[in-house]
Structure 1
Amino acid sequence: MQQVQGVIARSKGAPVELVTINVPDPGPGEAVVKVQACGVCHTDLHYREGGINDDFPFLLGHEAAGVVEAVGPGVTDVAPGDFVILNWRAVCGDCRACNRGEPWYCFATFNATQKMTLEDGTELSPALGIGAFIEKTLVAAGQCTKVDPDARAAAVGLLGCGVMAGIGAAINTGNVTRGTSVAVIGCGGVGAAAVAGSALAGAGTIIAVDLDDRKLEGAKKLGATHTVNAGAGDVVEAIQALTGGFGADVVIEAVGRPETWKQAFYARDLAGTVVLVGVPTPDMKVPDIPLIDVFGRGGSLKSSWYGDCLPSRDFPMLVDLYRQGRLDLDAFVSEEIGIGDIEVAFEKMHHGDVLRSVVVL
Structure 2
Amino acid sequence: MSQQVRGVIARNKGEAVEVTTIVVPDPGPGEAVVKVQACGVCHTDLHYREGGINDEFPFLLGHEAAGVVESVGAGVTEVAPGDFVILNWRAVCGQCRACRRGRPQYCFATHNAKQKMTLLDGTELSPALGIGAFAEKTLVAAGQCTKVDPAASPAAAGLLGCGVMAGLGAAINTGGVTRGDSVAVIGCGGVGNAAVLGAKLAGAAKIIAVDLDPRKLERAKGLGATHTVNASGGTDVVEAVRALTDGHGADVVVEAVGRPETYRQAFYARDLAGTVVLVGVPTPEMTLELPLLDVFGRGGALKSSWYGDCLPSRDFPMLIDLYLQGRLDLDAFVTETITLDEVEQAFATMRDGDVLRSVVVF
Q: Shorter-chain TM-score category?
A: over 0.9
Amino acid at match of 2:128: A
> Corresponding residue for 1:89?
90
> Corresponding residue for 1:236?
238
- CA distance in 1 between counterparts of 2:359 and 2:9 reads 17
- CA distance in 2 between counterparts of 1:278 and 1:345 reads 20
- CA distance in 2 between counterparts of 1:126 and 1:331 reads 28
Which SS does the other structure have where 1:240 is aligned? helix
> Corresponding residue for 2:263?
261
> Corresponding residue for 2:226?
225
> Corresponding residue for 1:102?
103
> Corresponding residue for 2:293?
292
- Offset of residue 289 of structure 1: 1.3
Amino acid at match of 2:326: G
> Corresponding residue for 2:124?
123
> Corresponding residue for 1:152?
153
Indicate the percent of aligned positions where both proteins have the same amino acid: 81
> Corresponding residue for 1:212?
213
> Corresponding residue for 2:36?
35
- CA distance in 2 between counterparts of 1:338 and 1:135 reads 11
The answer on 1:18 being equivalent to 2:15 is no
- CA distance in 1 between counterparts of 2:153 and 2:247 reads 43
Amino acid at match of 2:297: G
> Corresponding residue for 1:134?
135
> Corresponding residue for 2:278?
276
Q: CA RMSD in A?
A: 0.4
> Corresponding residue for 2:252?
250
Amino acid at match of 1:137: T
The answer on 1:162 being equivalent to 2:148 is no
1:279-305, Cα deviation, whole Å (9 max, x unpaired): 00010011x211000000000000001
1:302-328, Cα deviation, whole Å (9 max, x unpaired): 000100000000000000000000000
- CA distance in 1 between counterparts of 2:206 and 2:348 reads 34
Amino acid at match of 1:339: L
Aligned length: 360
- CA distance in 2 between counterparts of 1:6 and 1:272 reads 45
- CA distance in 1 between counterparts of 2:230 and 2:94 reads 44
Q: Trace 1:72-83 onto structure 2 (pairs within 5 A).
A: 72-83=73-84
Amino acid at match of 1:158: L
| Moved beyond 3 Å, runs of 4+ | none
- CA distance in 2 between counterparts of 1:153 and 1:36 reads 6
Q: Which runs of 5+ in 1 are unaligned?
A: none
> Corresponding residue for 1:66?
67
> Corresponding residue for 2:333?
332
* Bigger Cα displacement from structure 2, 224-233 vs 190-199: 224-233
- Offset of residue 203 of structure 1: 0.2
- CA distance in 1 between counterparts of 2:182 and 2:93 reads 36
- CA distance in 2 between counterparts of 1:252 and 1:53 reads 27
Q: Which runs of 5+ in 2 are unaligned?
A: none
- CA distance in 1 between counterparts of 2:356 and 2:58 reads 26
Amino acid at match of 1:178: R
- CA distance in 2 between counterparts of 1:16 and 1:289 reads 40
Which SS does the other structure have where 1:251 is aligned? strand
- CA distance in 2 between counterparts of 1:102 and 1:205 reads 30
Amino acid at match of 1:275: V
Amino acid at match of 2:342: D
Amino acid at match of 2:96: C
- CA distance in 2 between counterparts of 1:273 and 1:301 reads 6
- CA distance in 2 between counterparts of 1:280 and 1:148 reads 35
Amino acid at match of 1:13: G
- CA distance in 2 between counterparts of 1:258 and 1:251 reads 15
- CA distance in 2 between counterparts of 1:306 and 1:289 reads 26
Amino acid at match of 2:253: V
- CA distance in 1 between counterparts of 2:151 and 2:208 reads 33
1:133-186, Cα deviation, whole Å (9 max, x unpaired): 000000000000000001000001000000000000000000000001000000
- CA distance in 2 between counterparts of 1:40 and 1:290 reads 38
Amino acid at match of 1:230: A
Which SS does the other structure have where 1:118 is aligned? coil
> Corresponding residue for 1:46?
47
Amino acid at match of 1:235: V
